[in-house]
């Protein structure tokens, strides 16, 4: 793999303006990352064996750490509050390069370091953070078990307090309790943050986390610890995922990460959070940054793939045609435009939404004041956007691969490697299907609270319509969107399809109506006799639909806000079209729903396809600036096919 | 990788009956393959380096060849007609194991051997086929060039006759003329069937094929030949794909594969086919078997993936729920059923269509009488089904991977490896998007011929409706489907959604109407002034839709025929439901179209989702027999997660 240098880019005026708009509130941070990220060993040689890939990834981590692209944002001591923005920006920057490095960095600093920082207290911070941030102590985030992935509350590992010796005993009672898919566990980790059921004096206090040394410095398992190597995977060969099993392993009492639950020297358990349920979700809530980061990583990978495929389509010619004896440029084929440009539009849309997610994270975790509701909304938003972004990444990378034909299949063109790496993003840090369930659950909970209050007030029947609009006001919180929709309520079909007001109305209707009808069906299910599980289970596809409808609206809103913030008139005009391409593609994909619910006429629905074609044709001349705007320096793409 | 033995399977009664129905006309051949395929080294160790993988794949090829799973069906001499059925059955059987082996076998026997057998004459057959079928001569199928993938007619390589020495000179005039992505080119091939422009006495005769030795036995390039190694790919690491460039390389005149065009000792060109265009398509027509095989390979890979994911969903438990304290089986979640069971239904549907495709291939290539029309229909069908099957394979494998969560990402569970291997199926042996264009082009050509005849007869205006029905009769050729649709024309909405007559009507309407409207738009485009390319280019998405609509109808018809041939009443009843699940999933995916064109009411459209849920629930108890019916022996799945 040739060395790649930091880019000196010659962007078009429009490309530069789009990039400024797209980088949004973080334009300065992102520009700095593009300048300062050490790019000498950005991409990994696909010919490395797994062992070599792991060693390369580890050494690359050290190199990045020395350049300030490692533990940035992770606090160094008990007096340090950390910097969530720096952490997310660093993760995002690393995603320009090999994703094994990105994920291994995330395991070490984000998950392991994050567990110590967020779940531990001063002694843990001062004792371990300096070693973690300097890479002297490599660690594991040992949550998932072979038998328990999404269902963290059911973890079987036990953390039992032993009063006689003032120690905790960590134990895996069954094979299913074996920790699995744990990064750093197969080779490099010498300590693990182990999640398990805390037992004190015969009483269970739910899931807590304890630090357990697992390996000697010479790499051998410590007594009572059995690690396993999970070997080759669909990608991320540089990350050493493995299993850990504990056989009555003892650690000092101090090793419990005790911010949300501690055991004192007299063996008494206490917690600042009374409710075990709330305590559990508070602890899990600290994971939110991981989801924000994975979403960012997926989006960067998608932008890298789309940049390669679109640039290739701007240089590759296919069949000769009338007036084009040298062959037609791939991107001049309408079918090719329809394959790539809506994905570019969605990449922008999700990127704007990601910017808002980062802002919410910084608000909640930045050390200032924030409400419980804001924390909860951040968690819901992060879960949902992680699902949307990572599924999108896989779709965009696959489409990019196919759009490059046989060349796209060669490892030297980067697409299959990224596709293999990003694949697992759809199921780690929360399975996407389960995450969408969480999103809908949060929406329905809020909806029910509202409904319940109105119900108690005796106003439900009389003002059913108004209830609907109240819900919309909560769900469609953005001022711009609200104004757009408000202007449109009367006769939506009078508006042009490219009118943002009509699109906003359609997105809002899809969300509101599907949420209301789900809430109705859930109330009926709750009243039903018989198998309660089955009664709710039958709503499964409706639950997924509501989450998507909600998130699409959130994303459109972010796009609208992003355009409003754009100062350059030319960039703004292109973004307006791109936003329509995103919005109408989303409506087109669900046009069955819009027709069924009489939210769109047959005539308008039939015209959608032509409108999408037209938008693609109008955006086609701006394809290069649009790629530049996505922010991946051309020199970092590392795809041989662009050199021909 | 542990050795896998040939299976002694203990199928359920229903599973065995489903398998018999699904294997259809080839039940005996397939059962024999399951017994006789040497299964000791079925799957490849994912830890092998690329070099090791290539060596393993080659040695595995020899082992299979000795057991009769190599050159089966390829003729051995000029007196041997070959056996297309044996060739396809062998390819299909190999797809139960490592797909690099399958594809390398396809390169050697199907493509290289096929070129010699189909494009050569007696001397080539007697001289080379014995060496090819015994693996003493490994060869390349050197068609694709760096600059020319789908556009074979534009190949730049020249094959120039030199009268002075009675030789051909093979030359790559530009870097873009370099042969690329060629299997066996990087290492193992010593000869290539090279496609290029035949030039005789300054006159071009279009694309022909010549055999060119490229390497010594010690592996070094011959003078004038430069091979290159394309290295790591997204999968198929055991296949040594590479580049070949020719610098004025000379071969004897006899080396031209001269069945469709020869040069005699006096330097005169002659061909049994007058029209250069027809000659070109006749030569390409011999490729049809490759597409039939790739379709088969994709379908087997999809069935392996779905078998793993469905069996896992029958043993893995997730969250506890009311009445299910041990956790809910994954396959009891409706969302999980909706992810997997429609794919299983589609796997059956495409499998039945594949059986019919093989029958058509055997009819055309089996040595008996066949018409030009049958040859053309076979080519269209093979192109279309290859596209549908391979896209489906990627979709099914990805869904299977995600349905197994983190475990699905481990190489030991086979899914990511198959996914990486099958990825390229979507773009090799014809890019899928281009193949669908071919399908529609064939349909529109036939339609126009018919229309033109009626037009000349002056009956078009008067019997427009009848024209429509005539088209349907041609496109929906199956007797069963015809009868179904005929019974239904009057009031389709009176029929239940699970009534096959309604489904057949809907599929036929989708095909007929979209084809007719495309033909209309094409006539308008042909009349339009201005940029003719753009006029047709704008129909690109409509062209793709028509091909899909046509193929979906073909597939449904095959499913209906398959059920009609099933003798077991219990299996038949399950297949009826499965067919409805396939058909309604297809309608559901296009319900926007059906609503827009007033072919379905809003009420019915809204009810589709519930009907799909119901079918999934009804099929859920038969999940294991359905997996057994797909025909992949459990012992060959090789997925560690099923052993837990």
Torsion of CA B513, B518, B523, B528, to 10 degrees: 140
Q: Which residue, chain included where needed, has tokens 């076979």?
A: B378
Structure confidence by residue, pLDDT tens digits, B8-39 = 789 999 999 999 999 999 999 999 999 999 98
Task: Say if residues A82 and A129 touch (Cβ distance below 8 Å).
Answer: no
Most distant CA pair in chain A, distance: 89
Could B234 and A401 be called an inter-chain contact, meaning their C-beta atoms sit closer than 8 Å?
Answer: yes
Do A416 and B233 lie within an 8 Å CB cutoff?
Answer: yes
Q: From CA B481, how far away is CA B503, in angstroms rounded?
A: 10
- Looking at beta carbons, which residues of chain B come within 8 Å of A531? 322-323
Nearest CA in chain A to B49: A49
pLDDT (0 to 100) of residue B148: 87
A604: nearest CA partner in chain B: B596
**Alpha-carbon distance values, A119 to A107, A151, A319 (Å):** 16, 20, 61
**Which among B47, B394, B602 has CB closest to A50?**
B47
Q: Is B368 helix (H, G, I), strand (E, B) or coil?
A: coil
Question: Does pLDDT of B4 surpass 80?
Answer: no
Tokens 């059995």 -> residue: A226
**Between the CA atoms of B434, B438, B443 and B446, what dihedral angle is there, to the nearest 10 degrees?**
150
Q: Name the minimum distance, in Å, from the CA of B489 to any CA of chain A.
A: 23
Q: At what angle do helices B540-564 and B569-589 cross, to 10 degrees?
A: 170
Whole-number Cα distances in Å, A635 to A235, A399, B536: 24, 22, 37
| Best CA proximity match to A154, nearest among A116, A227, A204 | A204
Question: How far from A576 is each of A16, A108, A559, A569, B529, CA to CA, in Å?
Answer: 17, 41, 9, 10, 31
Q: Of the given ranges (A257-261, A289-293, A571-575, B318-322), which has the lowest mean pLDDT?
A: B318-322
Structure-token pair, residue A631: 């922010």
> Has residue B459 got a pLDDT over 60?
no
At residue A465, does pLDDT exceed 50? no
Q: How confident is the model at residue A544 (pLDDT cuts 50, 70, 90)?
A: very high
Decide if pLDDT at B478 tops 70. Answer: no
Q: Is the pLDDT score of B458 beyond 60? A: no
pLDDT band for position A458 (cuts 50, 70, 90): very low
- Whether the predicted model's global pTM rises above the 0.90 cut: yes
**A41-56: per-residue pLDDT in tens?**
999 999 999 999 999 9
Yes or no: say if A146 and A180 are a contact pair by the CB < 8 Å rule: yes
Can you tell me the distance from the alpha carbon of B96 to that of B86, in angstroms, rounded to the nearest whole number? Answer: 16
Return the pLDDT at B460.
41
pLDDT at B334 over 90: yes
> What residue in B sits closest to A50 (Cα-Cα)?
B47
Q: What angle do CA B439, B293, B638 make, to 5 degrees?
A: 130
Whether residue B231 and residue A412 make contact (CB cut-off 8 A), yes or no, is: yes
Per-residue pLDDT tens over the stretch B341-387: 999 999 999 999 999 999 999 999 988 899 988 999 999 999 999 99
Per DSSP bridges, beta strands A249-252 and A167-171 are: antiparallel
Rounded to the nearest angstrom, the minimum Cα separation between A335 and chain B is 5
| Cα–chain center distance at B500 | 27
Task: Please enumerate in sequence order all residues whose Cβ is within 8 A of that of A422, keeping only pairs 6 or more positions apart, or say none.
Answer: A99, A235, A297, A298, A301, A302, A390, A393, A394, A397
Contact A319, B149 (CB under 8 A): no
| CA-CA-CA-CA dihedral for A491, A493, A499, A505, to nearest 10 | 60
pLDDT of A29 strictly over 70 = yes
Residue A478: its pLDDT value, please? 63
- Cα torsion through B563, B565, B569, B571, rounded to 10: -50
Interchain proximity B323–A533, CB inside 8 Å: yes
Q: What residues in B contact A239, CB-CB < 8 Å? A: none
CA angle, residues B92, B93, B98, in degrees to nearest 5: 95
Beta bridge partners of A251: A168
Read off the pLDDT of each residue in A437-447 and give the average, rounded to a whole number: 87
The CA distance from A584 to the nearest CA of chain B, in Å, is 14
The pLDDT-based confidence of B452 (bands split at 50, 70, 90) is low
Please determine, for residue B470, whether its predicted confidence score (pLDDT) is greater than 70.
Answer: no
Does the pLDDT at position B467 exceed 60? no
ipTM over 0.90: yes
pLDDT exceeds cutoff 80 at A475: no
- Residue B593, pLDDT above cutoff 50: yes
Q: How confident is the model at residue A459 (pLDDT cuts 50, 70, 90)?
A: very low
Are A47 and B181 a contacting pair at CB < 8 A? no
A405/B423 CB distance under 8 A: no
pLDDT at B469 over 90: no
- Where helices occur in B134-224 by DSSP H, the ranges are none
A-chain CB neighbours of B47 within 8 Å are 49-50, 231-232
pLDDT band for A486, please (50, 70, 90 cuts). Answer: confident
Which residue of chain A has the CA closest to B407? A181
Report how far residue B27's alpha carbon sits from residue A219's, in angstroms, rounded to the nearest whole number. Answer: 54
Task: Decide if B416 and A428 are in contact by the 8 Å CB cutoff.
Answer: no
CA distance A355 to chain B (A): 27
CB B363 within 8 A of CB B370: yes
Task: Output the six-digit token pair for A413.
Answer: 């063109």
Q: Is the model's pLDDT at A644 over the cut of 80?
A: no
Across chain A, what does the average pLDDT equal?
92
Instruction: Identify whether the C-beta of residue B301 lies closer than 8 Å to the C-beta of residue B418.
Output: yes
Measure in Å the smallest separation between the Cα of A565 and chain B Cα atoms: 34
Q: Stretch A579-601: mean pLDDT, rounded?
A: 97
Check whether B485 has a pLDDT greater than 80.
no
Lowest mean pLDDT among A432-436, B73-77, B146-150, B444-448: B444-448
Q: Which residue is closest to B432 within chain A, CA to CA? A: A402
Confidence label for B333 from pLDDT (cuts 50, 70 and 90):
very high
Cβ proximity of A142 and A193 under 8 Å:
yes
pLDDT per position as a tens digit, B242-276: 999 999 999 999 999 999 999 999 999 999 999 99
Q: In this predicted model, what pLDDT tens digit does every residue of A117-175 receive, in sequence order?
A: 999 999 999 999 999 999 999 999 999 999 988 888 899 999 999 999 999 999 999 99
Q: By percentage, how much of chain A surpasses pLDDT 70?
A: 93
In order of A71, A98, A101, A416, the CA distances from A61 in angstroms are 10, 11, 6, 23
Question: Mean pLDDT over residues B438-442, rounded?
Answer: 92
Nearest Cα neighbor of A506 from A390, A450, A412, A590 is A590
- Cβ-contact B57, B26 below 8 angstroms: no
- For residue B47, the distance in angstroms to the closest alpha carbon of chain A comes to 7
Contact B333 A537 (CB under 8 A): yes
Of A151, A401, A409, the CB nearest to B318: A151
Question: Where are the alpha helices (H) located in B424-539, listed in sequence order?
Answer: 432-456, 464-475, 479-486, 500-527, 532-537
What pLDDT, on a 0 to 100 scale, did the predictor assign at position B468?
41
Residues B410-436 have pLDDT tens digits of: 999 999 999 999 999 999 999 999 999
By C-alpha distance, the chain A residue nearest B322 is A533
The 3-state secondary structure of A186-214, one letter per residue? CCCCCEEEEEEEEEECCEEEEEEEEEEEC
What whole-number distance in Å separates Cα of residue A438 and Cα of residue A380?
7
| CB within 8 Å: A602 and B602 | no
pLDDT of residue A597: 96
CA A125, A127, A129, A132 dihedral sign is negative
pLDDT over 90 (residue A399): yes
- From CA A37, how far away is CA A203, in angstroms rounded? 50
State the pLDDT at residue B451.
58
Per-residue model confidence as pLDDT tens digits over B537-548: 999 999 999 999
Find, in chain A, the residue whose alpha carbon is nearest to that of B589. A592
Check whether A293 has a pLDDT greater than 70. yes
Reduce the DSSP state of residue B203 to 3 states and report it.
strand
Residue A154 corresponds to which tokens in the numbers above? 């059911």
Query: What is the chain A residue with the closest CA to B176?
Result: A644
Give the HSE-up count for residue A539: Cα atoms under 13 Å, Cβ half-sphere: 23
Q: Shortest Cα distance from A568 to chain B (angstroms)?
A: 32
Distance from CA of B638 to the nearest CA of A (A): 15
Say yes or no for a CB contact (<8 Å) between B541 and A335.
yes
- How many Å apart are CA A634 and CA A623, to the nearest integer? 14
Residues of A in contact with B394 (CB under 8 A): 398
- Mutation pick from B387, B595, B597, B605 vs chain A, by most beta carbons of A within 10 Å, is B595
State the alpha helices, DSSP H only, in A286-425: 288-313, 334-365, 372-403, 405-409, 415-423
CB crowding B114-138: b at 16 or more within 10 Å, else e: bbbbbbbbeebbebbbeebbebebb
Q: Number of Cβ pairs closer than 8 Å across A and B?
A: 220
> Beta strand pairing status for B191-200 and B158-162?
parallel
Q: How many CB atoms lie within 10 A of CB A186?
A: 21
Confidence of residue A196 (pLDDT cuts 50, 70, 90): very high
Structure tokens at B194: 């090279």
Q: What is the pLDDT of residues A337-374, one digit of tens each?
A: 999 999 999 999 999 999 999 999 999 998 889 998 89
Contacts of A533 in chain B (CB under 8 A): 321-324, 328
Q: Which pair of tokens denotes residue A112?
A: 């392991």
């Amino acid at each position: 793999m040739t060395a790649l240098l930091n880019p000196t880019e010659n962007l078009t005026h429009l490309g530069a303006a789009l990039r400024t708009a797209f980088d949004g509130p973080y334009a300065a941070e992102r520009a700095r990352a593009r300048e300062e990220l050490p790019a000498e060993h950005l991409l990994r040689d696909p010919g490395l064996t797994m062992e070599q890939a792991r060693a390369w990834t580890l050494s690359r981590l050290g190199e990045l750490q020395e350049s300030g692209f490692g533990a940035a944002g992770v606090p160094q001591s008990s007096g340090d509050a950390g910097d969530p923005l720096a952490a997310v920006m660093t993760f995002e920057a690393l995603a320009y390069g090999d994703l094994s490095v990105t994920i291994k960095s995330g395991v070490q600093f984000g998950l392991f370091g994050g567990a110590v920082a967020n779940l531990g207290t001063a002694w843990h911070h001062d004792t371990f953070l300096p070693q973690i941030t300097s890479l002297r102590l490599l660690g594991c985030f040992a949550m998932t078990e072979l038998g328990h992935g999404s269902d963290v509350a059911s973890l079987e590992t036990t953390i039992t307090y032993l009063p006689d010796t003032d120690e905790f005993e960590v134990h895996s009672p069954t094979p299913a309790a074996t920790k699995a898919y744990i990064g750093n566990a197969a080779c490099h980790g010498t300590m693990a943050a182990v999640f398990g059921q805390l037992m004190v004096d015969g009483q269970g206090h739910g899931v807590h986390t304890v630090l357990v040394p697992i390996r000697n410095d010479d790499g051998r398992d410590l007594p009572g610890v059995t690690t396993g190597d999970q070997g080759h995977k669909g990608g991320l060969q540089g990350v050493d995922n493995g299993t850990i099993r504990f056989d009555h392993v003892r650690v000092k009492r101090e090793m419990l990460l005790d911010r949300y639950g501690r055991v004192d020297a007299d063996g008494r358990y206490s917690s600042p959070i009374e409710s075990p349920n709330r305590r559990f979700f508070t602890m899990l809530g600290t994971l939110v940054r991981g989801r924000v980061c994975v979403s960012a990583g997926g989006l960067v990978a998608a932008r890298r793939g789309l940049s390669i495929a679109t640039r290739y389509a701007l240089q590759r010619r296919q069949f000769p045609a009338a007036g084009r004896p040298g062959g037609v440029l791939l991107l001049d084929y309408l079918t090719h435009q329809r394959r790539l440009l809506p994905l570019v539009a969605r990449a922008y849309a999700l990127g704007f939404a990601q910017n808002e997610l980062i802002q919410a994270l910084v608000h909640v975790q930045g050390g200032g004041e924030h409400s419980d509701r804001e924390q909860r909304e951040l968690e819901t938003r992060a879960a949902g956007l992680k699902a949307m972004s990572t599924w999108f990444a896989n779709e965009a990378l696959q489409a990019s691969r196919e759009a490059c034909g046989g060349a796209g299949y060669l490892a030297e063109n980067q697409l299959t490697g990224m596709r293999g790496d990003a694949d697992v993003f759809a199921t780690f840090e929360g399975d996407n299907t389960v995450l969408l369930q969480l999103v809908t659950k949060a929406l329905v909970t809020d909806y029910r609270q509202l409904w319940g209050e109105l119900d108690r007030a005796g106003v439900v029947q009389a003002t059913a319509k108004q209830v609907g609009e109240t819900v919309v006001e909560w769900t469609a919180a953005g001022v711009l969107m609200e104004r757009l929709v408000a202007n449109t309520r009367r006769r939506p079909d009078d508006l042009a399809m490219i009118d943002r007001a009509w699109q906003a109305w359609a997105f809002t209707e899809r969300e509101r109506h599907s949420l209301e009808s789900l809430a109705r069906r859930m109330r009926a299910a709750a009243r039903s006799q018989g198998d309660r599980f089955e009664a709710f289970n039958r709503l499964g596809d409706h639950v997924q639909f509501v989450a998507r409808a909600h998130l699409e609206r959130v994303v459109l809103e972010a796009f609208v806000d992003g355009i409003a913030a754009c100062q350059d008139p030319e960039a703004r005009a292109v973004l307006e079209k791109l936003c329509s391409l995103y919005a109408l593609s989303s409506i087109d994909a669900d046009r069955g729903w819009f027709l069924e619910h009489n939210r769109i006429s047959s005539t308008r629905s039939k015209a959608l396809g032509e409108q999408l074609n037209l938008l693609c044709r109008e955006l086609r001349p701006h394809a290069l600036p649009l790629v530049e705007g996505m922010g991946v320096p051309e020199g970092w793409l590392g795809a041989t096919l662009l050199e021909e």
